[in-house]
């Protein structure tokens, strides 16, 4: 591809193509829809694009692209609202934003955190698009350099971020990551199809847990429950007036951090197969490692917002490379994007190896649309942020039922099964306990996200390397220790070294005081029991499926050693050490309600759903919660319930989704939405 | 979006009035009227695969062709290699003709191999469309040159690596074919889609691969043009008498039958060939089918059959379908029924042979 003969004319062609009134109109429409979807936790690009797909058939290609790109580009912008304001990851791309964004909101600096996040998002998005403009012509051979050993090393590098996020007791962080890895291996093994911690009679478990559910359960549920128990607003301080200017200044003074994290986002996005789910963690880890004063991370350091937010929008630009050049989707939303593109016009745009040669002008149109969508989306978000930030001053008991409704709905989109809700609730309890006893939830989540690539690439690299070694020793060595692998090993070792040296300072869970010995010990024993069970279960996999046995057995062994060390330490050390951290003791004075009564409300919603279906039990839940727990009048509760039900029905109708049915529905045919 | 909402609320309204007036829509006896309804098309795979592309292609056309122009939405229900979605569909009973199911070869194979996860029965369902496809095996340029000079014997010493989704999936057909030719192919499992397999080939890690026709046309043809990949053979296609002939989409490529005949190790008769042929016929010429659930009345079957027939008879059908589906039969009515039968029944010897081979070669135990 000649840069001057082909690329520059195509670039200006593309610019002319998108500067049409109609195209811009569709882009803005896409952006607004993307912002609306992204605001709700758990719903992201996949839900949004599915909404658009039915309209793509035969649509004027440029208009369809404007609509779809507009939507995909801004989801990682607007998902920041939930992450910062509620402590709920808006989508998998902004999990790391929660760590510092939410503490800032609690301090009444929500507007500052938001605008810093939006400025970073904008910068990352535009930088990603700019990078893409030049890189896309040269990208093909570079992407092909990333063979399986390289992908495995990238995965291991991602896992090394556990080091920095492990919390005060490093071994607890490692065991948490091990537990995440083990939960990620539940289901059918990818090599030989052996079943781990599941049987043919538990079809739900056979497919393993989905990231949406685990992410919401580990971060959102503990936060909602904790806030509810305190029964006040998220922030007890008034929102700072004009805070959003401060945020932009914050971003500007950390501009180089933003540049570096954007580049990380692009790079990880470009590599197919890893997906974007770890980008924000890697960026967060990098932010912490390169900071001088690390004392405020986890308690509300603005840099902890700028880093991940710069990376997650840049990732979309990077993610377009494998999507457009190879037809390999880097994420779920990119997969739908590909099928959407195939429907446009007469199907003349074919994403894949021929895209650059045949449709370079459309390729550049996509890049330009991406940049433009980021600008438009950010402007809208900054305008809206001041008002939306006031949500943090509302009494939380009034927000919680609404949030819980959205989260349950989002979780149910994963498999459209009542078990989605059971999984959300069950893993939610694990999340609550991990929060209580100061076990690193980020470490757990990184382990969960990387479990499947780590296992898959290990097995594949092993198998291919074996075949190469059969051909010749040198060929095998060349395959495993390519220059890229060696560089990645060096980076990983450095990252672990810096991480372990600093882990004590970075408290992803904030300060937690120690309490008695018994409760932390019981929780540790429960975790040990599960890991032991997973070990026993995996070890029983027969030899012919040994590829599915090695990884879980290895992880479980390491984790069990960690558990054993912790048990010995617990025996020897006094109960004032961080080992026995117990948030129940710490928060004893601020909690107005007990844990189990609060959980009881949600358990009741779950059981109600199993009996009467989601909508009926949701109506009961909303009404009773507002009336009795929040103590509002009957009229207020009735209006609240009506608005809530109308909202969720409108959402489901536009996404064309049903709600979980219960026992009642198996006896009676009820009209939608009660089905 | 607004459009969908109004249609959905119209559906609500229609549902409510249907409660009052009984099944007024069915009263005229000429078939279904789906005005204002939403047809849900369940695809038991994720949004990324070939079935998604196939359903997304047909969905808007089906909406146009069905009486009353209902909204057709494709619902993805992935899980356990499509058995989750198929089991779900098995549990549904015909209500008003607004639920249809799209199966694929990966739904057929576990059924034929008596996979314990299968709780569905093709005999209960009502087929209204059967779409065929083909497959092409290709090699890297250096191996293709070696074969050109030395014949297939030049490949016998090669350690082949193949990125595979699993031996019990559609990959069974190429894996068995290579085994019959005498090649030493080691499948690397855990590939998430055939696109990832192609990427592994492009990276030089895998040195043999196959793609179904539409993915070959979009993904591999440019590589062939660039000289990095060379097509070897297509699996072939069935003629009107049920013989395997060259694939009309790739008339210049030999079919597997031709390659097999020429290879010393391979025979076009005997148990291995019969098994391969049976599973090829089950997996490719009627790979993707559309079903109405158990208990569908004849008028509903007729309505859908006519709708799909109207689509395939459109004047511009070839033009709009060739890039996305390739040139393959899109069968309705009796032809679809025949295709269903040949796709879901294999001789017991064939399935025994394959189950045994899977166990010995890959340690797969289907219990």
- Give the contacts of B75 (CB within 8 A, at least 6 positions apart): A656, B40, B41, B42, B43
**Confidence class for position A516, pLDDT limits 50, 70, 90:** confident
- pLDDT of A664 reads 87
Contacts of A671 in chain B (CB under 8 A): 12, 15-16, 19
**What would the two tokens of residue B297 be?**
């009345």
Q: Which is more confident, A276 or A212?
A: A212
Over residues A63-91, the mean pLDDT reads 86
Residues of A in contact with B46 (CB under 8 A): 332, 335
Size of interface A-B (CB pairs under 8 A): 154
* Chain B nearest-CA residue for A456: B190
Q: Do A656 and B8 touch (CB under 8 A)?
A: yes
Residues of chain B with C-beta less than 8 angstroms from the C-beta of A26: none
CA dihedral for A504, A509, A512, A516, sign (positive or negative): negative
Q: What is the pLDDT of residue B32?
A: 79
CATH topology of domain B2-132+286-344: D-Maltodextrin-Binding Protein; domain 2 (3.40.190)
Q: Distance (Å, rounded) from C-alpha B306 to C-alpha B320? A: 19
- The predicted-structure confidence for B297-333, as pLDDT tens digits, reads as follows 999 999 999 999 999 998 888 888 877 777 888 889 8
Q: In what order do the strands lie in the sheet with B288-292?
A: B71-76, B38-43, B99-103, B288-292, B126-131, B330-331
Identify the pLDDT of residue A347.
Answer: 67
**Range 609-638 of A in CB contact (< 8 A) with B:** none
Instruction: Identify the pLDDT of residue A663.
Output: 87
In this predicted structure, the answer to whether residue A661 has a pLDDT above a threshold of 70 is: yes
Contact residues, A window 40-79, toward B, CB-based 8 Å cutoff: 46, 50-51, 53-55, 57-58
Q: For A341, which residue in chain B has the nearest alpha carbon?
A: B53
pLDDT interval class at B8 (50, 70, 90):
very low
The answer to whether the CB atoms of B116 and A200 lie below 8 A apart is: yes
Asked if A146's CB is within 8 angstroms of B60's CB, the reply is: no
Q: With an 8 Å Cβ cutoff, is A640 touching chain B?
A: no
Q: Please tell me if the domain spanning B2-132+286-344 has the same topology as the one spanning B135-283.
A: yes
Q: Region B258-276: what's the mean pLDDT? A: 91
| pLDDT confidence of residue B93 | 85
Of A139 and B332, the one with more pLDDT: B332
Q: Is B82 on the interface with A (CB under 8 A)?
A: no
Q: Which of B38, B87, B363 sits opposite A192 (nearest CB)?
A: B363
pLDDT of residue A543: 81
Cα Rg of chain A, angstroms:
25
Asked whether A162 and A177 are in contact (CB, 8 A), the reply is: yes
Question: Lowest mean pLDDT: which of A314-323, A562-571, A665-674, B137-146?
Answer: A665-674
**What is the rounded CA–CA span in Å between residue A606 and residue A609?**
5
Number of helices and strands (H, E) in chain B? 15, 13
User: Residue B164 belongs to what H/E stretch?
Assistant: none
The pLDDT value given to residue B22: 37
Nearest to A190 among B8, B47, B189 (CB): B189
Mean pLDDT value of segment B280-293: 91
Answer with the residue of higher pLDDT: A417 or B264: B264
Q: Are A674 and A627 in contact (CB under 8 A)?
A: no
Is residue A24 less than 8 Å (CB to CB) from chain B? no
Confidence class for position B117, pLDDT limits 50, 70, 90: confident
pLDDT interval class at B135 (50, 70, 90): very high
What are the residue ranges spanned by the domains of chain A? 3-394+440-498, 512-586, 595-667
Give the C-alpha distances (Å, rounded to integers) separating B95 from B26, B99, B295, B300.
11, 8, 9, 10
Q: Is A453 on the interface with B (CB under 8 A)?
A: no
Within 8 A of A200 by CB-CB distance, chain B residues are 116-117
Chain A window 204-233: which residues touch B at a Cβ cutoff of 8 Å? 206-207
| Tokens linked to B173 | 């057909």
Q: State the smallest CA–CA distance between residue A89 and chain B in angstroms.
A: 23
Write down the mean pLDDT value for chain B: 84
pLDDT at B136 over 90: yes
Contact yes or no for B323 and A336 at CB 8 A: no
Which H/E stretch holds residue B288?
A: strand B288-292
Closest CA to B108 of B352, B351, B357: B351
| Mean pLDDT along residues B246-264 | 93
CATH of domain B135-283: 3.40.190.10
User: Given this model, what pLDDT does residue B180 score?
Assistant: 94
To 5 degrees, how large is the angle CA A271–CA A305–CA A84? Answer: 110
The predicted pLDDT at position A621 comes to 94
User: Are B38 and A656 a contacting pair at CB < 8 A?
Assistant: yes
pLDDT of B20 > 50? The answer is: no
pLDDT over threshold 50, residue A333:
yes
Instruction: Please give the pLDDT value at position A506.
Output: 60
- Cβ of B80 within 8 Å of Cβ of A656? The answer is no
Of A178-187, B28-37, B330-339, which one has max mean pLDDT? A178-187
pLDDT at B5 over 50: no
Q: Is the pLDDT of residue A591 over 60?
A: yes
> What's the confidence (pLDDT) of residue A618?
94
pLDDT at A303: 93
Residues of B in contact with A58 (CB under 8 A): 60
Cβ <8 Å between A347 and B188: no
What average pLDDT does range A9-14 have in this prediction?
81
pLDDT at A237: 65
Q: Give the nearest partner residue to B166 out of A144, A193, A346, using CB atoms.
A: A193
A200 and B117 in contact by Cβ < 8 A? Answer: yes
Residue B7 has pLDDT above 50, yes or no: no
CA distance A146 to chain B (A): 8
Higher pLDDT among residues B62 and A318, named by residue = B62
**Distance between first and last Cα of chain B:** 46
pLDDT above 90 (res A190): no
Chain-chain contact of A192 with B48 (C-beta, under 8 angstroms): no
Min CA distance, B300 vs chain A (Å)? 20
Question: Which pLDDT score is estimated for B18?
Answer: 39
Chain segment A537-571, per-residue pLDDT in tens = 999 988 877 888 999 999 999 999 999 999 999 98
Residue A275 has pLDDT above 70, yes or no: no
pLDDT of residue B24: 38
Q: Which residues of chain B have a CB within 8 Å of the CB of A350?
A: 218, 323
Q: Which of A336, A347, A544 sits opposite B324 (nearest CB)?
A: A347
Is residue A17 predicted with pLDDT exceeding 90? no
Q: Does the pLDDT value for residue B339 go beyond 50?
A: yes
**B15 reaches A (C-beta below 8 A):** yes
Name the burial class of residue B96, with classes exposed (0-12), middle (13-18) and buried (19+) by CB atoms within 10 angstroms of its CB: middle
- At B14 the pLDDT is 42
Domain locations along chain B: 2-132+286-344, 135-283
Gap from A461 CA to chain B (nearest CA, Å):
9
The whole-angstrom separation of Cα A405 and Cα A40 is: 11
Instruction: Please compute the mean of the pLDDT values over residues A209-219 and round it to a whole number.
Output: 88
pLDDT, tens digit, for every residue of B201-244? 999 999 999 998 878 888 898 899 999 999 999 999 988 777 88
What are the chain B neighbours of A155 within 8 Å (beta carbons)? Answer: none
In chain A, residues with a C-beta closer than 8 Å to the C-beta of B189 are 190-192, 459, 547
Span A125-144, mean pLDDT? Answer: 85
Instruction: Write the pLDDT tens digit of every residue in A220-254.
Output: 899 889 888 888 787 766 655 556 788 889 999 99
């Amino acid at each position: 591809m000649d840069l001057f003969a082909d690329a520059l004319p195509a670039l200006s062609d593309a610019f002319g193509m998108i500067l049409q009134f109609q195209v811009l109109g569709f882009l803005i429409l896409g952006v607004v829809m993307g912002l609306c979807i992204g605001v709700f936790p758990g719903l992201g690009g996949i839900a949004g694009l599915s909404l658009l797909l039915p309209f793509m058939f035969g649509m004027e290609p440029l208009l369809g692209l404007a609509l779809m790109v507009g939507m995909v580009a801004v989801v990682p912008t607007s998902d920041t609202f939930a992450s910062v304001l509620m402590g709920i990851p808006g989508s998998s791309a902004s999990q790391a934003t929660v760590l510092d964004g939410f503490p800032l909101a609690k301090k009444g600096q929500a507007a500052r955190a938001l605008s810093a996040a939006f400025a970073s998002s904008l910068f990352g998005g535009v930088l990603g698009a700019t990078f893409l403009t030049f890189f896309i012509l040269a990208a093909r051979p570079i992407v092909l350099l990333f063979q399986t050993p390289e992908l495995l090393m990238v995965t291991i590098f991602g896992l090394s971020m556990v080091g920095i996020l492990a919390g005060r007791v490093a071994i607890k962080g490692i065991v948490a990551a091990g537990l995440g890895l083990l939960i990620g291996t539940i289901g059918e093994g990818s090599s030989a199809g052996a079943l781990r911690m599941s049987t043919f009679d538990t079809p739900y478990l056979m497919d393993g847990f989905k990231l949406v559910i685990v992410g919401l359960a580990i971060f959102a549920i503990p936060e909602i429950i904790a806030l509810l128990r305190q029964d006040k607003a998220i922030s007890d301080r008034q929102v700072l007036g004009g805070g959003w200017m401060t945020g932009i200044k914050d971003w500007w003074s950390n501009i180089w951090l933003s540049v570096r994290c954007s580049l990380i986002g692009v790079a990880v996005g470009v590599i197919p197969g890893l997906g974007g789910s770890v980008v924000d963690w890697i960026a967060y880890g990098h932010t912490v490692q390169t900071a001088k004063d690390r004392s405020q991370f986890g308690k509300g350091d603005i840099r902890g917002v700028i880093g991940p937010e710069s990376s997650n929008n840049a990732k979309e630009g990077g993610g377009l490379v494998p999507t457009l050049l190879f037809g390999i989707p880097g994420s779920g939303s990119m997969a739908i994007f590909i099928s959407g593109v195939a429907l446009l016009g007469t199907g003349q745009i074919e994403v894949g190896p021929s895209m650059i040669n045949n449709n370079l002008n459309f390729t550049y149109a996509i890049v330009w649309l991406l940049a433009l969508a980021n600008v438009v989306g950010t402007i809208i978000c900054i305008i809206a942020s001041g008002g939306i930030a006031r949500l943090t001053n509302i009494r939380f008991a009034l927000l919680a039922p609404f949030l819980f409704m959205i989260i349950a709905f989002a979780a149910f989109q994963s498999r459209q099964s009542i078990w989605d809700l059971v999984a959300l609730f069950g893993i939610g309890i694990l999340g609550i306990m991990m929060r209580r006893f100061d076990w690193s939830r980020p470490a757990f989540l990184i382990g969960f996200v990387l479990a499947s690539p780590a296992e898959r690439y290990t097995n594949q690299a092993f198998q291919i390397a074996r075949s190469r070694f059969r051909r010749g020793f040198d060929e095998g060595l060349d395959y495993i220790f390519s220059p890229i692998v060696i560089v990645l090993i060096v980076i990983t070792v450095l990252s672990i070294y810096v991480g372990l040296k600093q882990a004590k300072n970075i408290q992803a869970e904030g300060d937690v005081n120690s309490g008695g010995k018994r409760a932390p010990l019981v929780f540790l024993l429960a975790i040990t029991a599960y890991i032991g069970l997973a070990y026993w279960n995996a070890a029983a996999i027969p030899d012919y499926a040994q590829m599915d046995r090695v990884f879980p057995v290895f992880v479980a062994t390491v984790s069990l050693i960690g558990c054993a060390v912790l048990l010995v330490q617990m025996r020897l050390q006094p109960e004032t050490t961080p080992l026995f951290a117990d948030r129940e003791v710490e928060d004893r004075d601020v909690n107005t309600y007990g844990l189990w009564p609060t959980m009881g409300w949600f358990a009741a919603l779950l059981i109600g759903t199993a009996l009467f279906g989601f909508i009926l039990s949701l109506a009961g839940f909303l009404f009773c919660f507002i009336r009795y727990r929040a103590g509002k009048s009957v009229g207020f509760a009735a209006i609240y319930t009506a608005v809530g039900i109308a909202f969720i029905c409108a959402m489901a109708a536009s996404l064309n989704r049903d709600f979980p049915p219960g026992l009642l529905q198996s006896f009676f045919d009820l009209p939608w939405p009660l089905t | 979006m607004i459009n969908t909402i109004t249609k959905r609320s119209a559906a609500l309204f229609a549902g409510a009035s249907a409660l009052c007036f009984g099944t007024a829509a069915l009263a005229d006896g000429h078939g279904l009227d789906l005005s204002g309804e939403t047809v849900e098309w369940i695809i038991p795979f994720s949004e990324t695969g070939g079935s998604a592309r196939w359903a997304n292609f047909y969905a808007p056309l089906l909406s146009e062709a069905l009486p009353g122009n209902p909204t057709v939405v494709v619902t993805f229900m992935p899980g356990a290699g499509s058995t989750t979605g198929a089991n779900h569909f098995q549990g549904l009973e015909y209500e008003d003709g607004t639920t249809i199911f799209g199966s694929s070869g990966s739904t057929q194979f576990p059924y034929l191999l008596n996979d314990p996860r299968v709780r569905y029965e093709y005999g209960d369902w009502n087929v209204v469309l059967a779409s065929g496809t083909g497959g092409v095996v290709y090699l890297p340029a250096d191996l293709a040159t070696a074969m050109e000079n030395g014949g297939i014997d030049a490949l016998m010493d090669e350690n082949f690596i193949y990125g595979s989704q699993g031996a019990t999936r559609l990959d069974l057909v190429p894996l068995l074919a290579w085994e019959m030719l005498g090649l030493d192919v080691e499948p690397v499992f855990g590939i998430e889609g055939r696109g990832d397999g192609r990427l592994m080939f492009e990276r030089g890690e895998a040195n043999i691969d196959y793609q179904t026709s539409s993915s070959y046309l979009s993904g591999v043809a440019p590589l062939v043009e660039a000289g990095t990949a060379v097509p070897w053979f297509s699996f072939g296609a069935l003629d009107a008498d049920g013989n395997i002939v060259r694939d009309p989409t790739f008339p210049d490529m030999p079919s597997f039958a031709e390659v097999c005949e020429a290879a010393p190790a391979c025979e076009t008769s005997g148990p291995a060939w019969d098994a391969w042929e049976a599973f090829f016929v089950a997996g490719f010429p009627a790979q993707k089918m559309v079903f109405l659930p158990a208990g569908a009345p004849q008028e509903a079957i007729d309505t859908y059959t006519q709708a799909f027939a109207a689509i395939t008879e459109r004047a511009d059908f070839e033009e709009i379908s060739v890039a996305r589906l390739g040139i393959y039969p899109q069968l309705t009515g009796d032809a679809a029924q025949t295709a269903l039968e040949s796709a879901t029944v294999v001789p017991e010897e064939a399935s025994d042979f394959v189950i045994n081979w899977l166990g010995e070669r890959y340690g797969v135990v289907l219990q």
